[in-house]
Amino acid sequence: MSDSVHSTPSMHRPPEPHRRDGAPWLVVGLGISGRAIARFLQHRGERFVVADTRTAPPGIEAFREAFPTVDIHLGDLEALDLQAFSEIVVSPGVDLQKSGLAAVRERVIGEIALFARHCKAPIVAITGSNAKSTVTTLVGDMARQAGKRVAVGGNLGDAALDLLIDHPDAELFVLELSSFQLETLEGLGAVCAAFLNLSADHLDRHGDMAGYRQAKSRIFDKARHVLVNAEDEATWPEDASIPCERFTTKAPADGMWGISPLESGEWLCHGERPLMPVSELRLAGRHNQANALAAMAIGHVIGLPLAVMRQVLGYFAGLPHRGEIVAERGGVRWINDSKGTNVGATLAAIAGLGETLAGKLIWLGGGIGKGADFTPLAAPLARYAREAIVFGQDAPQLVAALAPHVATHRVDTLAEAMQRAASIAEAGDCVLLSPACASLDQFPNYLARGEAFRAFLDQGPLEPGQEAAC
């Protein structure tokens, strides 16, 4: 296995540009990333001003208390002299076009660019429309079990700049990166950069799929090694000279990572080399088998022992709200995939679970579809589902897309959907909450929606006619 994790990656990182002496920084955005940027600059003794286009951003009073000497500008950025600042650091949620920062793009950097400038340890960077949190967590756990001092975060958990402060002795950083974080990034220089998949999401920000892919592909810039999805050409780098690992859910070609049918059952394999029986995985579904392969491929690149990677895959049961098995009652599994907020994520969950079921899938979906086309859901649901139960604001659009192809039942709320599922489920079935929609019509966020799913199950046995209380 490679020993590249022990190499010095900083030689590929962009140098700090010449900055105007005495001029302060400008931090734009007061979300989690903005607060991390402010903390990092304060830690380094830098002068900075903070701005937010909102007139009353959440947490403003707590920020004032934490940074009492920092000037804060709220509202339109046009009121600021942007030429007065040495550099402008933006939070991922800030749209350069809508904020008016596009005119000074040459002096704008993002939080991850700032992280890359100061990080001295190797970086594993992971992106994709779906599954990046699971793969990031798996790689982090594998590295930790292998005895590495590892820091895990980015778009998942702790902000990247907080990791630099809180883990100064880290010998490996494993980062989940979103398209918003990547669009202002150049020259990350990751020891391994993974692009797992691409499906429609955030098109209101990136314009179209080409713009979305372009933002994601920045993860490859100056990467030492890349990992891509052999079944999704949109994940492949334009530079074919970068050493590349590929994973697939099919039998792998030589050098690829995939799933092969052997006499003893299906195995995760690297080329012809069997690595681990699929039956030993705690994670459910074909899509999670792909996630396991991706994590093993990254681990291979950075030199992690196979025995350690198998150990982690043998106990890792998934992240909350991401394909999480919440209960099994009467032979029926109830799976919380509330994080499935777009069609691509839901397609992966349906296809991944459908292939492995003894019975049928009962799918719960709905909420705010963000203008998505739901028709791709029809074919896999027609193949695997006993019924599609839809709820929420965009339930009519889901009915229109699905009803000609699969039995579809409309209700108003998630609670009613779960009660309906309980009344029709049979042994061997799986009830899957993977809504393909945002949650904000009925819940504060996908977390609250997933917790409502769990709370309903915590009431006790589910019987037809039981009063729904979530």
What residues act catalytically? 132, 155, 202
**What are the tokens at 369?**
């579809």
Parallel, antiparallel or unpaired: strands 324-329 and 332-336: antiparallel
CB 219 within 8 A of CB 189: no
Structure tokens at 266: 């299906």
Burial class of 469 by CB neighbour count within 10 A (0 to 12, 13 to 18, 19+): exposed
The amino acid sitting at 152 is V
Q: How far is CA 75 from each of CA 78, 97, 126, rounded to the nearest angstrom?
A: 9, 16, 34
For 73-105, give one letter per residue: b (16+ CB within 10 A) or e.
eeeebeebebeebbbbbbbbbbbbeebebeebe
* Under 8 Å between Cβ of 188 and 222: yes
In degrees, to the nearest 5, what angle opens at C-alpha 400 toward C-alphas 397 and 406? 120
Tokens of 260: 């092969």
The phi, psi pair for 109, rounded to 5°, reads -130, 160
Burial class of residue 69, CB neighbours in 10 A (0-12, 13-18, 19+): exposed
CA angle 399, 369, 443 (to 5 degrees): 105
Yes or no: say if 90 and 184 are a contact pair by the CB < 8 Å rule.
yes
Name every residue whose Cβ is closer than 8 Å to that of residue 448 and which is 6 or more positions away in sequence.
439
Distance between CA atoms of residues 385 and 185, nearest Å: 42
